[in-house]
C-alpha cells in the first residue's frame, strides 16, 4: 500500500480536511498526518509521498525518508526543499502554481490600507480606551513598486489601478503587463526606488534575490515609504531593515515572512510600532484547499499509476 505523509503546521480543522478529502478520493492510500516536523518519526521511514509546505520541512525529515519518491509542495516556493543537499535526485518534486493571485494580492491591498490608515495605532487607542483622531493617507495618486512580476503581481496591479495608484514593476524579465504603468529591470531598482510610496515584494527566493533588499535600497526609498514583504524573509536583509525602521529611512513595514519562522520572541520587529506583522498568512485563505487539491489529485493519480511523466508542476532539482 502506498503511504502518504501529510506534514502541515496548520489549524487542526484545516489539516484534517486535506487528509479526509485525499483519503476519500484515493482509498488505496494509507494517509498519516502530523502537525510538526519533529513528529514524523513513526511514519517517515515508510513514506512514499510527502505533502507539505516547504518552509515546514527540516533536513532531518528528508534524511529519514529513505523510501520517499515524491514531494508535493503546497505552495509555489520550494526553497528549504530543492536546495537541501540531502534531497535525493530521484525524488520527484512538484509544487502548486497559478493559484496565489487572488489571496496574496488581497493581502497586499489589505496591508497597504492598514499602513496608510495606521490601523495598529487605532487598535492601540481602542485597547487603551482613548479617543484619538489622526489623518489617514490615501492610496489614491500614490505609487506602488512591485518587485517580482508573476501571477500574483498580474493580479495585484489592476487592483492597485482601481485605487487610482501608479504602478511600477521591477522584474528580471521586464515586459508589458496589464495594470503596470512602467516596467524596469532589477538592475534599475536603486534608481526607481525613490518613487515608491509602497514597495511590495513578491519575488521568489533565489541566490540572486537573497538579501537583495538591503541598506542601499532602504537609503534610496522615501522616508515616508512603506515596505510590504509577501515573498520570503530571505529576500530582505532584516538587520538593515531594523536599522532603516529605527532611523526613519523608511516610514514602516508590513511583514508576512521572516528569515526564521516562527519569529523569535526577542526579535525587534515584535515591539516596533511602525511594523505590522502577520504569520506567513499571505496565501492562507478559506478556499486554499479548493484551489490546491486539483493539482494534488492530478499528481496523485499519476503517481499511483506509475505515470511520473504525466505529473504536472514538476520542479527540476
User: So which residues are the catalytic ones?
Assistant: 232, 261, 280
Instruction: Cell numbers for 168, please give them.
Output: 511600477
Instruction: For residue 187, give every residue at least 6 positions away whose Cβ sits within 8 Å of its Cβ, in sequence order, or none.
Output: none
Closest CA to 275 of 222, 237, 227, 235: 227
Closest C-alpha among 35, 71, 75, 4 to residue 257: 75
Query: CA-to-CA distance for 40 and 44, rounded, in angstroms?
Result: 5
Could you tell me which of 95, 78, 104 has the C-alpha nearest to residue 202?
A: 104
CA 122 to chain centre: 27
Are 241 and 189 spatial neighbours (Cβ–Cβ below 8 Å)? Answer: no
End-to-end Cα separation, the chain, in angstroms: 27
Distance in angstroms (rounded) separating the CA atoms of residues 289 and 296: 10
Amino acid at each position: 500500500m502506498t503511504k502518504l505523509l501529510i506534514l502541515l503546521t496548520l489549524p487542526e480543522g484545516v489539516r484534517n480536511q486535506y487528509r479526509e478529502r485525499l483519503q476519500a478520493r484515493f482509498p488505496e492510500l494509507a494517509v498519516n498526518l502530523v502537525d510538526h516536523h519533529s513528529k514524523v518519526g513513526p511514519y517517515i521511514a515508510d513514506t512514499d509521498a510527502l505533502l507539505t509546505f516547504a518552509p515546514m520541512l527540516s533536513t532531518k525529515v528528508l534524511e529519514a525518508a529513505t523510501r520517499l519518491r515524491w514531494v508535493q509542495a503546497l505552495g509555489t516556493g520550494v526553497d528549504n526543499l530543492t536546495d537541501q543537499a540531502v534531497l535525493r535526485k530521484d525524488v520527484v518534486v512538484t509544487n502548486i502554481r497559478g493559484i496565489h493571485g487572488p489571496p496574496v494580492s488581497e493581502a497586499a491591498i489589505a496591508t497597504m490600507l492598514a499602513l496608510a490608515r495606521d490601523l495598529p495605532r487605532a487598535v492601540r487607542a481602542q485597547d487603551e480606551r482613548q479617543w484619538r483622531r489622526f489623518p489617514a493617507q490615501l492610496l489614491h495618486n500614490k505609487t506602488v513598486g512591485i518587485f517580482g512580476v508573476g501571477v500574483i503581481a498580474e493580479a495585484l496591479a489592476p487592483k492597485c489601478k482601481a485605487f487610482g495608484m501608479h504602478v511600477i514593476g521591477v522584474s528580471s524579465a521586464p515586459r508589458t503587463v496589464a495594470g503596470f504603468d512602467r516596467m524596469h529591470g532589477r538592475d534599475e531598482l536603486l534608481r526607481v526606488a525613490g518613487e515608491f510610496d509602497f514597495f511590495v515584494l513578491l519575488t521568489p527566493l533565489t541566490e540572486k534575490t537573497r538579501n537583495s533588499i538591503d541598506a542601499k535600497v532602504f537609503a534610496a526609498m522615501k522616508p515616508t515609504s512603506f515596505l510590504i514583504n509577501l515573498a520570503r524573509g530571505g529576500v530582505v536583509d532584516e538587520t538593515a531593515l531594523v536599522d532603516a525602521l529605527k532611523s526613519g529611512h523608511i516610514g514602516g513595514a508590513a511583514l508576512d515572512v521572516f528569515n526564521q519562522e516562527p519569529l523569535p520572541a526577542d526579535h525587534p520587529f515584535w515591539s516596533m510600532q511602525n511594523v505590522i506583522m502577520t504569520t506567513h498568512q499571505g496565501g492562507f485563505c478559506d478556499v486554499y484547499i479548493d484551489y490546491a487539491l486539483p493539482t494534488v489529485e492530478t499528481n496523485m493519480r499519476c503517481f499511483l499509476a506509475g505515470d511520473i511523466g504525466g505529473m504536472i508542476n514538476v520542479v527540476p532539482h
